[in-house]
Amino acid sequence: MPKSPMRSAALLGPALVAGVAYLDPGNVASNMTAGARYGYLLVWVVVAGNVMAWLVQYLSAKLGVVTGRSLPEILGARIRSRWARRAYWLQAELVAMATDIAEVLGGAVALNLLFGTPLLLGGAITGGVSIALLAVQTRRGPRHFEFVIIGLMAIIVVGFVAGLFVAPPDAGGVLGGMLPRFTDSGSVLLAASILGATVMPHAIYAHSALTRDRFGAPTDSATQRERVPSIRTLLTVTRWDVSIAMVIAGSVNLAILLLAAANLAGVEGTDSLEGAHAAITASLGPFIGTLFAVGLLASGLASTSVGAYAGAEIMHGLLTIRIPLLARRLFTLIPALLILGVGFDPTAALVLSQVVLSFGIPFALIPLVALTAQRRTLGEHANRTVTTLLGVLFAALLIALNVALLWLVLTNAG
């Protein structure tokens, strides 16, 4: 870190908020299923996904730090055609809403597990809490919002990791899981689900906006460096911020897989959140089961708040429209509440939301890598050649994995 550790630590936070997207209920379900079905086989997938996520989130944060604008704002200014801009907004908005469905469903399921709350009411409560959290960001500023989300992240960590202290995984199995391999088409499908959905479009849009909100307009002016950190200082802090966030998110996702691998191998029904909770309770006891449900609730509340923030930024950046927060949040809650109201299977809805999310990956990743490689956009802070090459490689791999995920899901459905 820079010379003043305390001052630098005060600049941390945006990546931890964006990192909550990697701990949403969809990821919980995928990692739990992977561990229960295939043991330690897919440990390497979680690790590889986290490495790719680090670079993608750093590039998003760097774009916001250097330009003082979010990715949607820059694209809104660069896309000259009004109809092309609207089309781009529509796909981004649909992807954000699909992601929100998974997060609201996760919160509703958690409330049902903890208190027996009907799913529809649980979804409404989850949406209401997300409105309150967003009000903190609007009225009290980004720092207070960060504190709240980081607090929820701490609850997520405890809820999902506690079981490992009761029943730790086999060290040899974990090391063996670092060897890249598959055993059948089912393991390929789960790997594609974990890796392909590791980087979510709304997390990319949100991270660039979070750094913009936190640090404001950039400056490298010598007269202002004593009052405002330089871009280079902010980028150094951002690398630490992203590293801490990805270590936390990656460790929790790995812990979920290891918990299932060590204790739920071969147990039926763990491909649903309710089934996973029941299996954990039966295997490790009601206390660990309750902690898991509390972690799931915190996951749903935190991730849906960040998702709603991303959706608002997408609309503002691409269409230069801001509508009242309450009205927008109520509108984006409708799909999730409809799904819960008609009794649609929450697990099937999670899978479908991941499919919709897959369509949005190229639209977020390709512009991100392209813009951060341009000197006319980032000047001297543009990517080095090796960074751009890695960005292109990871983007191509993630896009290919999402295409594979779509094909495998549709094929299995047929």
Provide, rounded to the nearest whole percent, the portion of the chain with pLDDT above 70. 91
How many C-beta atoms surround the C-beta of residue 323 within 10 A?
A: 12
Per-residue pLDDT reduced to its tens digit, 296-352: 999 999 988 888 888 889 999 998 887 776 777 778 888 888 988 888 877 777 767
> What's residue 336's pLDDT?
87
> What's residue 348's pLDDT?
73
With 70 as the cut, is the pLDDT of residue 220 above it?
no
Rounded to an integer, the average pLDDT of 189-217 is 83
Exposure of 93 by Cβ count < 10 A (0-12 exposed, 13-18 middle, 19+ buried)?
middle
> What's residue 294's pLDDT?
96
With 80 as the cut, is the pLDDT of residue 198 above it?
no
Return d(Cα 187, Cα 1) in angstroms, integer. Answer: 40
Does the domain at 5-413 match CATH 1.20.1740.10? Answer given as yes
With 50 as the cut, is the pLDDT of residue 181 above it?
yes
Tokens of residue 281, six digits: 């309770």
Q: What's the chain's average pLDDT?
A: 86
CA distances from 273 to 19, 26, 32, 116, 339 (A): 21, 9, 9, 15, 16
With 60 as the cut, is the pLDDT of residue 166 above it?
yes
Give which of 306, 312, 317, 307 is closest to 367, Cα–Cα. Answer: 317
Whether the CA torsion 235, 241, 242, 247 is positive or negative: it is positive
Tokens of residue 240, six digits: 């630490």
With 80 as the cut, is the pLDDT of residue 37 above it?
yes
Tokens of residue 357, six digits: 């999310």
With 60 as the cut, is the pLDDT of residue 226 above it?
no
> What's residue 228's pLDDT?
61
Give which of 265, 256, 266, 218 is closest to 238, Cα–Cα. Answer: 218
> What's residue 218's pLDDT?
64
How many residues make up the chain in this entry?
Answer: 414
Per-residue pLDDT reduced to its tens digit, 137-162: 878 878 888 899 999 999 999 999 99
User: What confidence category does residue 8 fall into, taking pLDDT thresholds of 50, 70 and 90?
Assistant: low
Sequence spans of domains, the chain: 5-413
> What's residue 219's pLDDT?
58
pTM of the model as a whole = 0.89
Per-residue pLDDT reduced to its tens digit, 74-93: 999 999 899 999 999 999 98
Higher pLDDT, 248 or 308: 248
User: What confidence category does residue 224 fall into, taking pLDDT thresholds of 50, 70 and 90?
Assistant: very low
> What's residue 362's pLDDT?
87
> What's residue 151's pLDDT?
93
Per-residue pLDDT reduced to its tens digit, 328-339: 777 888 888 898
CB 275 within 8 A of CB 269: yes
In three state form, how does the secondary structure of the chain look? Answer: CCCCHHHHHCCCCHHHHHHHHHHCHHHHHHHHHHHHHHCCCCHHHHHHHHHHHHHHHHHHHHHHHHHCCCHHHHHHHHCCCHHHHHHHHHHHHHHHHHHHHHHHHHHHHHHHHHHCCCHHHHHHHHHHHHHHHHHHHHHHCHHHHHHHHHHHHHHHHHHHHHHHHHCCCCHHHHHHCCCCCCCCHHHHHHHHHHHHCCCCHHHHHHHHHHHHHHHCCCCCCCCCCCCCCCHHHHHHHHHHHHHHHHHHHHHHHHHHHHHHHHHCCCCCCCCCHHHHHHHHHHHHCHHHHHHHHHHHHHHHHHHHHHHHHHHHHHHHHHHCCCCCHHHHHHHHHHHHHHHHHCCCCHHHHHHHHHHHHHHHHHHHHHHHHHHHCCHHHHHHHCCCHHHHHHHHHHHHHHHHHHHHHHHHHHHHHC
How many C-beta atoms surround the C-beta of residue 228 within 10 A?
A: 17
User: What confidence category does residue 389 fall into, taking pLDDT thresholds of 50, 70 and 90?
Assistant: very high
Segment among 173-177, 219-223, 268-272 with least mean pLDDT: 219-223
Return d(Cα 361, Cα 95) in angstroms, integer. Answer: 9
> What's residue 223's pLDDT?
44
Per-residue pLDDT reduced to its tens digit, 102-136: 889 989 999 999 999 999 999 999 988 988 888 88
Return d(Cα 96, Cα 303) in angstroms, integer. Answer: 11
With 50 as the cut, is the pLDDT of residue 222 above it?
no
Q: What is the CA radius of gyration of the chain?
A: 20
